[in-house]
């Protein structure tokens, strides 16, 4: 029997058994991306547990080894940073997933813009637009978005994107097949070239210095509240109409 989710956000939540509809979302501006982040870091994912909630709410635990810190003093390079996402596998085998929320896969390297304030659905600024994945390249490693488009730079509107140089964001083992990710509503600023990982880091550090921003000493590692699941009366009554 199909069950529905009640969402308190403009982005749709869905169960594995429900149809997923593509959606759109406004990516954050460049300044908002930096100002709203309490911890900006590069890290390699060491563990993803989509059944961390046990018999309770859907919870996924992500453990990241921090490799580089651009802003914030939550932890330093070489240390582990973990957080809980309000999605994952329920005790009855169903899977709760937030369309447009970032995914983290073991072994992959990410640049993460982690929120400074309490959050409900994702700790990342701008949903999947606040996470970049590092991909190797003969001319220097590149950062790519959820669609595999490389980042050419950052302006006041947000990331300037270049051509596709990597695969779309992979799904962690144990997760359902890839859900459609939201396309940005505003027109993309595009470029013919890609920035290297080192070049983008330099741009970000320079912009952070211009803003006089250093990050936050504290961030929230778990969501406030959970994902609500509603069971229709007909389902609660078995096969009754």
Residue 12: is its pLDDT beyond 50? no
Lowest mean pLDDT among 28-32, 85-89, 90-94, 132-136: 90-94
pLDDT at 93: 82
Percent of the chain whose pLDDT exceeds 90: 47
Judge whether 240 lies within some domain: no
Higher per-residue confidence, 203 vs 229: 203
pLDDT band at 138 (very low <50, low <70, confident <90, very high): confident
pLDDT at 3: 38
Higher per-residue confidence, 140 vs 229: 140
Residue indicated by tokens 């952070």 = 208
Mean pLDDT of 158-185: 75
Mean pLDDT of 26-55: 91
Judge whether 202 lies within some domain: yes
Sheet with 13-15, edge to edge strand ranges: 13-15, 95-98, 88-89
Mean pLDDT of 1-9: 37
pLDDT at 173: 72
* Cα 48–Cα 167–Cα 227 angle in degrees, nearest 5: 40
pLDDT at 7: 37
pLDDT at 178: 59
pLDDT at 56: 73
pLDDT averaged over the chain? 81
Q: What CA–CA distance (Å, rounded) separates 108 from 105?
A: 6
pLDDT band at 8 (very low <50, low <70, confident <90, very high): very low
Mean pLDDT of 106-120: 95
Judge whether 239 lies within some domain: no
Domain span at 123? 4-226
Judge whether 236 lies within some domain: no
| Helix/strand/coil for 241 | coil
Task: To the nearest 10°, report the CA torsion of 129, 130, 134, 135.
Answer: 0
**131 closest CA partner among 200, 30, 40, 66:** 40
Judge whether 170 lies within some domain: yes
Quote the DSSP letter at residue 186.
Answer: S
Mean pLDDT of 64-89: 95
pLDDT at 183: 63
Judge whether 217 lies within some domain: yes
pLDDT band at 241 (very low <50, low <70, confident <90, very high): very low
pLDDT band at 231 (very low <50, low <70, confident <90, very high): very low
Judge whether 231 lies within some domain: no
| pTM of the full structure | 0.82
pLDDT at 130: 93
**46 closest CA partner among 3, 105, 114, 91:** 105
Q: In Å, how far from its chain's centre is CA 200?
A: 19
Judge whether 211 lies within some domain: yes
* Domains of the chain: total: 1
pLDDT at 4: 37
């Amino acid at each position: 029997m199909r069950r529905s989710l009640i969402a308190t956000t403009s982005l749709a939540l869905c169960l594995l058994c429900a149809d997923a509809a593509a959606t759109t979302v406004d990516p954050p501006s460049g300044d908002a991306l930096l100002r709203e982040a309490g911890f900006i870091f590069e890290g390699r994912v060491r563990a993803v547990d989509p059944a961390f909630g046990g018999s309770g709410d859907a919870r996924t635990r992500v453990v990241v080894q921090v490799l580089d810190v651009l802003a914030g003093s939550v932890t330093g390079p070489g240390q582990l940073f973990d957080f809980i996402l309000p999605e994952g596998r329920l005790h009855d085998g169903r899977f709760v997933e937030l369309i447009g929320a970032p995914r983290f896969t073991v072994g992959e390297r990410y640049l993460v813009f982690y929120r400074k304030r309490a959050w409900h659905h994702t700790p990342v600024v701008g949903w999947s637009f606040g996470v970049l994945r590092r991909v190797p390249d003969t001319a220097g490693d590149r950062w790519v978005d959820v669609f595999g488009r490389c980042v050419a730079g950052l302006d006041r509107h947000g990331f300037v994107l270049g051509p596709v140089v990597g695969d779309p964001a992979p799904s962690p083992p144990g997760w359902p097949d890839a859900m459609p990710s939201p396309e940005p509503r505003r027109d993309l600023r595009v470029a013919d070239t890609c920035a290297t990982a080192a070049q983008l880091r330099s741009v970000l550090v320079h912009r952070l210095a211009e803003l006089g921003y250093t990050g936050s000493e504290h961030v929230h590692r778990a969501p406030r509240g959970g994902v609500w699941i509603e069971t229709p009366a007909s389902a609660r009554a078995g096969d009754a109409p």
